[in-house]
A and B are shown apart, each in its own frame.
Chain A
Amino acid sequence: MSVLADLATPIVMGILLGGLYAVIALGLSLIFGVVKEINIAHGDLVILGSYFGYVAMSVVGIDPILSLIVGIPLLFGIGFGIQKYLLNRAFKISMDATLIIAFGISIILQNIFQLIWTPMCRGLTTSYALESFSAGPISVPLVYLLDFIVAIIVMLFLREFLRRTYLGMAIRAAAQDWRAAHLMGINTNQVFALTFGIATALAAIAGIFLGLTFPFTPVSGMSFLIIALGVVVLGGLGSIAGTFIGGIAFGLAQTLGGHFFGLAAQMLVAYTMVLVVLAVIPRGIFGR
């Protein structure tokens, strides 16, 4: 009985953490499903969101979640620009070229962060970031619950957007068969750029909540990218529900890994799971 109670906290925390991982992975999943690119720079774009929140908090004094009002359009614009001017061109050259260019963007971002904000750990420490709430015998940090709620909101939003708006349907068409979509009069280059913009806007949201949950450094992007890749591959390309389940799976892997093998090993467990997932199910649970 006590074993079960012991496990309850890591399990609950793992599920809630999974919400955060799902939001982080959502942008990546969108790009992968629609544009068929693996955006290696996605992790760093998320951290860009985190640093934006940091600037909003420390320089301007606004609550990071409020700063999203500016953050979302800003990162949307950046993502749109990246796809439109860099990656659309790379696409025509080769698949390898897009990978290498995304890698280059990742390096540039990481070192800009390092230049401006130094390698020191930063965090979005608002007043509520340190509170926890209890339900019965379990006590979890409040931000974990926020992460989970935000994940659900964002996913519902995205699903409705993709289903009901013209752009959403254009995106889904381009994802299914971009040549056919092109023939149907959809400007696929524009759609790809808009998709990347949306994905980066999602990264902005993810970044803020990541910053509230964990401390981050200029190189944190890579760690979260790897987990996001695992989530995307596990959940299946372009499936929102799959990404959610994948996120929870990785959240649980991390917290339970930490519970059984010690805190130092928790990322190791998560990364090993990524490798296993990549080797065993490249198509994912819900994938096409």
Chain B
Amino acid sequence: MIPIIGIMVVLALFPVIGVPRVWLLYLFLFYIYLAMANMWNLLAGYSGLISLCPAAFIGLAGYTMTVMTWLGFPYYVGIIPGGIVAALFAVLISIPVFRMKGIYFAIGTLVVPEILRFVFLLWRPVGGALDGGGRGYTVLGVAEVPQSQTYWFALAIGIVSILVMRYILRSKLGSGLAAIRDNDSTAACCGVNVFKLKLYSFVIAAFVTGIAGAIFYIYQGFIEPVSAFSIQWLITIMLATVIGGEGTEEGPIVGTIIVVFLYFLLARYAEISLIIQGIILVIIMLLAPKGILGFLHNFHRLVPASLKVIGNSLKTTK
């Protein structure tokens, strides 16, 4: 416990002790993606819900926060309402979407961000019509916000996401979700209220993902429908979770480190970067479907065993 708190304190002090600004940016993105990856892991790895709609929650929360700045509130006031709007939306779409089983659920969630993108292309909640097209908003009042503040918000949500995962996985909700993931009919027979538990994890995931998204848009300073609801969010989050290990607690952490690293390594070569991400996704799923952590879990059993075999064969040849 102590080393972890130590790490957290050190990370929190980074902006103060004069660490290079680029590091702060890397870490900022790391915390944001970590929060989102943890939530995706909660749904896909632990609840058996492959949700293809994180962008819906991210975009909605981002828009809520932005609209609130247009209504006169300072930017930080809009963060929690952003999460709440995302959570309420999750409740709303759970009605049609949870009726769909397995693969249909995935397709249903795929459509949702696309619908929202069209909605926000056509609808302007505040402000007058923009001439010359363009459907975005600038986030008011964030130009003077120091980078350290957005950094701390991001660090906070990153830590919160890890704590949420810890708490849920060790609770009754966690056991119920594991049962559902393995076989939801059997879980239902054992008295698990499948719909309620799926709804809980869906709403929690929406809330945390939304907040992470809202914080991201504070940093970015503007929001527009195409990128807010873009499939790119899903690609990054899915890759982070899958590389690290879907269904493991530490998996998203490892995966997000790799994804952010790749992101900056290949930032100049945008399309190639994405092609490589796609290739990695395919290769990882074929060779190490449980991700790096899954591979390591098996590996540390293989190593002592293989050493023993080598030792025995050496003895006999003597």
A residues with a Cβ closer than 8 A to B are: 38, 40, 86, 89-90, 93-97, 99-101, 103-108, 110-112, 114-115, 222-223, 226, 229, 233, 264-265, 267-268, 271-272, 274-276, 278-280, 282
Looking at B50, B101, B110, the one whose CB has the most chain A CB atoms below 10 A away is B110
Q: Among the listed stretches B7-15, B92-100, B211-219, which one makes contact with chain A, having 4 or more residues with CB under 8 Å of it? A: B92-100
A100 CA to B231 CA, complexed, in Å: 14
Assess whether B224 is interfacial by the CB under 8 Å rule.
no
Q: Which residues of A contact B289 (CB under 8 A)?
A: 93-94, 97
Assess whether B107 is interfacial by the CB under 8 Å rule.
yes
7 A-B residue contacts at CB 8 Å?
A40-B110, A89-B286, A97-B285, A101-B282, A110-B274, A275-B111, A278-B96
Contact across chains for B108 and A275 when beta carbons are under 8 A apart = yes
A107 CA to B232 CA, complexed, in Å: 9
Q: Which residues of A contact B106 (CB under 8 A)?
A: 38, 99
Q: Which residues of A contact B119 (CB under 8 A)?
A: 268
A103 CA to B285 CA, complexed, in Å: 11
Query: Which A residue sits closest to B289, measured CB to CB?
Result: A93
Q: Number of B interface residues at 8 Å Cβ cutoff, please give it.
A: 39
Looking at A104, A274, A279, the one whose CB has the most chain B CB atoms below 10 A away is A104
A191 CA to B18 CA, complexed, in Å: 62
In the assembled complex, how far is the CB of residue B53 from the closest CB belonging to chain A, in whole angstroms? 11
Q: Which residues of B contact A99 (CB under 8 A)?
A: 50, 103, 106
Query: Which B residue sits closest to A112, measured CB to CB?
Result: B275
A280 CA to B96 CA, complexed, in Å: 8
Assess whether B25 is interfacial by the CB under 8 Å rule.
no
Contact across chains for A111 and B271 when beta carbons are under 8 A apart = yes
Query: Which A residue sits closest to B95, measured CB to CB?
Result: A279
Contact across chains for A268 and B122 when beta carbons are under 8 A apart = yes
A100 CA to B291 CA, complexed, in Å: 13
Q: Which residues of A contact B122 (CB under 8 A)?
A: 264-265, 268
Contact across chains for B114 and A104 when beta carbons are under 8 A apart = no
Q: 0/1 per residue, B261-290, Cβ < 8 Å to A?
A: 000000000011011011101100110010
Query: Which B residue sits closest to A273, measured CB to CB?
Result: B111
Majority SS of interface residues in chain A?
helix
Assess whether B121 is interfacial by the CB under 8 Å rule.
yes
A107 CA to B108 CA, complexed, in Å: 19
Q: Which residues of B contact A271 (CB under 8 A)?
A: 111, 114-115, 118
In the assembled complex, how far is the CB of residue B298 from the closest CB belonging to chain A, in whole angstroms? 14
Contact across chains for A279 and B121 when beta carbons are under 8 A apart = no
Query: Which A residue sits closest to B103, measured CB to CB?
Result: A38
A269 CA to B278 CA, complexed, in Å: 31
Contact across chains for A223 and B114 when beta carbons are under 8 A apart = yes
Looking at B97, B106, B121, the one whose CB has the most chain A CB atoms below 10 A away is B106
Q: Among the listed A86, A101, A107, which residue makes an inter-chain contact with B235, where contact means beta carbons less than 8 Å apart?
A: A107
Contact across chains for A108 and B101 when beta carbons are under 8 A apart = no
Q: Which residues of B contact A268 (CB under 8 A)?
A: 115, 118-119, 122
A199 CA to B99 CA, complexed, in Å: 29
Known A-B contacts A94-B289, A268-B118; A111 and B96 likewise in contact (beta carbons under 8 Å)? no
In the assembled complex, how far is the CB of residue B18 from the closest CB belonging to chain A, in whole angstroms? 38
Query: Which B residue sits closest to A265, measured CB to CB?
Result: B122
Contact across chains for B118 and A267 when beta carbons are under 8 A apart = yes
A267 CA to B278 CA, complexed, in Å: 27
Q: Which residues of A contact B23 (CB under 8 A)?
A: none
A264 CA to B119 CA, complexed, in Å: 10
Contact across chains for B286 and A278 when beta carbons are under 8 A apart = no
Assess whether B242 is interfacial by the CB under 8 Å rule.
yes
Assess whether B221 is interfacial by the CB under 8 Å rule.
no
A266 CA to B281 CA, complexed, in Å: 34
Looking at A103, A112, A268, A275, the one whose CB has the most chain B CB atoms below 10 A away is A103
Contact across chains for A115 and B271 when beta carbons are under 8 A apart = yes
Q: Among the listed A94, A222, A226, A233, which residue makes an inter-chain contact with B104, where contact means beta carbons less than 8 Å apart?
A: A233
